């Protein structure tokens, strides 16, 4: 489950039935929330109310059909979703309005776990070790300067 904590009201469940909650991001205006439950290989979009903390499911935005599974996620200044692909050797970039993949950045690590932008729009990407022969010691921190597209 995805839970929320409020000092006055305590804990409440926002999304129930999740298995491995991972990526969660909000649009700049905080009206939309995107959420990843990794084993489903789906990114879902929710209406989000900043004041009440409630969310309402809108639609499935992205369905992963490749080897990788969506893991960590961030949103850029244009509103595109950047998704770390566990088992996919890559970070993929998606337009949440139409669900189309815009770009893919392949990396020398099997399990890409998370990513985040800094204030200068540089990208930091983390990965985990793998039991795959060529990727055993691939727990790394990757840094990509702005203008990597």
Of 121, 116, 73, 81, nearest in space to 98 by CA: 81
**Catalytic-labelled residue, pool 6, 71, 74, 76:** 71
Catalytic site includes residue 71: yes
Rounded Cα distance, 137 and 27, in Å:
35
Tokens standing for residue 110? 């099997």
Rounded Cα distance, 58 and 4, in Å:
19
> Among all residues, which ones are annotated catalytic?
71
């Amino acid at each position: 489950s995805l839970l929320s904590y409020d000092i006055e009201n305590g804990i409440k469940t926002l999304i129930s039935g999740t298995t491995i909650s991972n990526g969660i991001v909000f649009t700049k205006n905080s009206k939309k929330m995107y959420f990843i439950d990794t084993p489903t290989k789906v990114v879902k979009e929710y209406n989000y109310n900043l004041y009440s903390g409630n969310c309402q499911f809108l639609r499935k935005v992205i369905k992963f059909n490749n080897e990788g599974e969506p893991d960590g996620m961030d949103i850029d200044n244009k509103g595109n979703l950047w998704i770390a692909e566990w088992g996919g050797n890559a970070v993929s970039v998606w337009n949440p309005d139409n669900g189309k993949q815009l770009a893919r950045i392949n990396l020398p690590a099997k399990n890409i776990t998370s990513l985040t932008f800094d204030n200068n729009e540089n990208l930091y990407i983390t990965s985990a070790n793998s039991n795959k022969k060529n990727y055993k010691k691939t727990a790394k921190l990757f840094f990509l300067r702005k203008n990597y597209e």
